[in-house]
Amino acid sequence: MANTHGRHFFMNPGPTNIPDRILRAMDRGTIDFNSAEFRAISDQCFAGLQRVFKTTQPILGYAATGHGAWEAALVNLFSPGDRVLIVESGYFSLNWGLRAEAFGLQVETLPNDWRRTADPAKLEARLRDDRNHEIKAVLAVHNETSTGVAHPVAALRRAIDAARHPALFCVDVISSLGSFDFRMDEWGVDVTVVGSQKGLMLPTGMAFTGVSAKAIAATAAAKLPRVYWDWRRLLGQGATTQGYWNGTVPVHFFYGLQEALRMLEDEGLDNVFARHHRLAEATRRAVRTWRRNDGPEIFSIDPAGQSDTVTAVLLPEGHDADKLRQIALDRFNLSLGGGLGQLKGRLFRIGHLGDLNEPTVLGSLATIEIAMELAGVPHGKGGVQAAADYLVSEA
Ligand code: PLP
């Protein structure tokens, strides 16, 4: 029988744990979304989001998951036949590309080893080659949740500039925003795509796009049909924040978002990032210890690319990561992320983002050690101790 005692340890890299403060903030009656009271709440939320995105440009929201915001970016910016360049990083980058293909775009992939960070020099070289500027946009994923590799967005921007290429720069920050550093304006990002259920600690179901003036200008020439996602419609005439919703506004999400933003600002974004880094590094210390004795290893090879929100752990050949996950869940009530696409069964993913603390991470690492033992996965002993030693050194 499955162990359902105690707290369910939910360590997937999204959705993430919803803090009690946010649940309580959402536990209130609805109000008219056309009222001044709601308008004040939504204005406050969009202003707060701008601070988290580090932008002064408009942010538009939808009742959707990240997939919706991906699609919003595509239909607002492009016409059938337009060429876009996907910076390959893993399952999510390729999926964004598949959606672009479904809309009749020509999708070119800048190939990249999933275990490594994207190479800005390769992007620059490809863009320099594109003398007629056929590539309309570069699409990249900041933190590839399927691999646990964080990609160098600022350096990719510099590569676009170095090639003097006018392509729009669209970045998926779905598993980085609010967890580690992202700067929409400073890094010259034209479209920022995010969902509610990771660093923002909300339930799944809202998505946002930050849009630059250049992106808004591009919508005029874009011919793909759009109604729900139409940025011009949502923005309203000359407005700098969302002035219109298609249908009923998800008021309760805004109650939650207001509280999430308060939590991020009470802690201070830099402290939030430092906490994520500390918990991620503790996790990495454990996995590096497990690596001994031909045990599992961190999937992300470049140390600079090892993500502060998710660690993907590659099992030794011949061992099934899904079996290990099942033991962790059934026997100990610990949920871990699985491998996606071609990585299914090869790795498991530890999500260490959102509302988490040291005991939760240490308890999860200890449980993974037990599950590895039970599943017969070879590993070096002492991973939890290595994580704890690191946390002592950082205290
Ligand atoms: N992009 C990244 C990097 C993700 O991690 C995810 C989901 O985990 C998505 C896109 C898809 O977002 P959603 O599941 O909210 O549609």
Determine whether the shortest distance from the Cβ of 141 to ligand 1 is under 6 A.
yes
Query: 237 CA to middle of ligand 1, Å?
Result: 31
Given this model, what pLDDT does residue 51 score? Answer: 98
Determine whether the shortest distance from the Cβ of 175 to ligand 1 is under 6 A.
yes
Given this model, what pLDDT does residue 238 score? Answer: 56
Domains 9-16+268-394 and 31-265 share a fold: no
Given this model, what pLDDT does residue 5 score? Answer: 85
Determine whether the shortest distance from the Cβ of 145 to ligand 1 is under 6 A.
yes
Distance CA(231)–CA(49), nearest Å, equals: 17
Query: 63 CA to middle of ligand 1, Å?
Result: 15
Determine whether the shortest distance from the Cβ of 337 to ligand 1 is under 6 A.
no
State which residues of the chain have pLDDT below 50: none
Amino acid letter, residue 210: G
User: Ligand 1: which of 94, 95, 99, 145 to mutate, judged by most atoms within 8 Å of the beta carbon?
Assistant: 145
pLDDT tens sequence across 191-233? 999 999 999 999 999 999 999 999 999 999 999 999 999 999 9
What is the pTM assigned to this prediction? 0.97
Strand 59-63 vs strand 206-211: parallel, antiparallel, or unpaired? antiparallel
Given this model, what pLDDT does residue 241 score? Answer: 77
Q: Which sign does the torsion angle of CA 225, 228, 232, 237 carry?
A: positive
Distances (CA, A) of 350 to 346, 347, 381: 14, 10, 18
Given this model, what pLDDT does residue 208 score? Answer: 97
Q: Does domain 9-16+268-394 have CATH number 3.90.1150.10?
A: yes
Given this model, what pLDDT does residue 239 score? Answer: 63
Distance CA(65)–CA(48), nearest Å, equals: 20
Amino acid letter, residue 46: F
Considering the domain 31-265 in this protein, what is its CATH number? 3.40.640.10
- Which value, in Å, is the radius of gyration of the alpha carbons in the chain? 21
Distance CA(242)–CA(236), nearest Å, equals: 7
197: three-class secondary structure by DSSP? coil
Q: What are the domain boundaries of the chain?
A: 9-16+268-394, 31-265
